[in-house]
Structure 1
């Protein structure tokens, strides 16, 4: 096989998971300040499903083939000119950044500030469930400034960011209430949730008041914002793609109307945050939660499973 090419997950038109296939593309070379990473695993994220279906075509464009894959784990295979802080052979995790996708492949090039070292003893396939946890760290520690003894509500508690938020909320000393599907309530309890509630069997108004609300769904923001105590903080990492303008407009208006501003952000981790992630894992406050591991050829099945809902942690794809 030509070592100038590599396998990658591609799609030639917008659509459902069936549009994904494994093809061959040129193997990238690291530019100055970049490293080449031999990918061992990546996880499937909701943003990729939206991009694949065409709902993000304003950002991704219409030129095909397009790629999927946002995060990854692997080993550094080569250094570009001026790349510092890492060495060939280092076990790393990282993200490709906000400019696109592409980690669903045998190799990926990435700037050195977009990666960090995976803690010793952590399997690289399991570790692929954790880069998204940097979003939970940012949301709780930096945006909400969660304090010991506060009441925390995590919406979407069984998902990729949600399960990490439950673990970290407990570790940070908060009283954690987890909203998830009925089938996942025992799972979120094992993560450290003090209270676990089926989100389909309760109205938000019946949940009580919270100092911090972390939302991973992006819908019904008004109802959950009403649950804030005086001085409470709400952070969302999503918006309603079916009502995009209204959703973004409400988030913006929340800064001047009603109780508490809704803080929205999109995860964009760099090395310092990956170092924080490694420390949380090494000190036992955070562990990976892998629902199912798929081979690269079954990436479409992983997309289909995530779209169906009910994930416990992350769907991870192994690159052999």
Structure 2
């Protein structure tokens, strides 16, 4: 392979996981205010599978090849000149770092190298190896949802939908650490897993009757289906944060969330995680403080990224599927 090329996971058409393959693309060079990171590992995230399948065509377009990979861990191998607002570089060559590609960057961390703005990098805690750490960067979404958007307080009742998934498993741990009474909703096979994370009450999402769950101060919804049903479970002053919408009924789902925001005084909030260095450093402090630990369901080599996508789509993940880049 030429010295200015690198391996990356690509796809030339929309479809099932088998459309993914390992190809060669130009290796990026560090630009001002950015770092070049040699990727150690990344995880497979829920938003990537509909992107790859073509469910998001209105946003993703028809230009190919396309890339996958949203988060990453790795080592800084080069730095561009400082950006005009940066001053002292907050990371150095050789630092172990993690991050999540920004909204404007899209996907692309499923590769040997990634170029990242320095203000979107954080240092990985020393006690966590880089492969396990790849299960954690999107936990910044749970931190933002619970503490910035919902202002979760000790003693409040918290419901986490999709509690065994990549954001949900972090939310259960963080809710317990905050002193909330955590109810975790997941498939039956995953209930013991979320109990081990600190959930006090366990609910099988396939058999649940929502009206029988009682009332909650905060609901974190990572599933996106039937938000109107779960909004009715909020106590007076309750807050519901959703990070997903129903792909089967996107117009209805998005329309409801928008109406809830306008007419419900913000009781239902939708957001997409977009962490910067402040969020990543806060995540590291929570890991160091014992509030949060990574959960890796399985590790795949880069050549088997399609298998990791297939496993995620099959359901039943406990934490994260991580792909190791050799």
Q: TM-score, normalized by length of structure 1?
A: 0.98
Structure-2 separation of matches of 1:130 and 1:90: 17
Identify if the C-alpha distance between structure 1 residues 81 and 138 changes in structure 2 by more than 3 Å, giving closer, same or farther.
Answer: same
- Spell out, residue by residue over 1:58-85, the C-alpha distance to the aligned partner (whole angstroms, 9 max, x if none): 2222111100000000000100111621
3-state DSSP of counterpart to 1:142: helix
Q: Following superposition of structure 1 onto structure 2, how do residues 25-44 of structure 1 map, counting pairs within 5 Å? A: 25-44=25-44
2:16 equivalent to 1:11: no
2:224 equivalent to 1:215: no
Q: In the alignment, what sits opposite 2:100?
A: 95
Say if 1:231 and 1:260, in contact at 8 Å, map to a contact too.
Answer: no
3-state DSSP of counterpart to 2:249: helix
2:275 equivalent to 1:269: yes
- Give the CA deviation at 1:295: 0.3
Q: In the alignment, what sits opposite 1:21?
A: 21
- Give the CA deviation at 1:267: 0.3
Structure-2 separation of matches of 1:26 and 1:190: 44
Structure-2 separation of matches of 1:178 and 1:242: 24
- Spell out, residue by residue over 1:158-179, the C-alpha distance to the aligned partner (whole angstroms, 9 max, x if none): 0000000000000001000000
Number of aligned positions between the proteins: 320
Say if 1:225 and 1:260, in contact at 8 Å, map to a contact too.
Answer: no
- Spell out, residue by residue over 1:36-94, the C-alpha distance to the aligned partner (whole angstroms, 9 max, x if none): 00000000011111110112222222111100000000000100111621100000000
Q: Which runs of 5+ in 2 are unaligned?
A: 84-88
2:172 equivalent to 1:166: yes
- Spell out, residue by residue over 1:102-156, the C-alpha distance to the aligned partner (whole angstroms, 9 max, x if none): 0000000010111100011210000000001000000000000000000000000
Two-structure CA RMSD over aligned residues (Å): 1.1
Structure-2 separation of matches of 1:202 and 1:246: 23
Query: Of 294, 298, 311, which residue of structure 1 is paired with 2:300?
Result: 294
Q: Which runs of 5+ in 1 are unaligned?
A: none
3-state DSSP of counterpart to 1:272: helix
> Higher mean Cα deviation, 28-37 or 55-64?
55-64
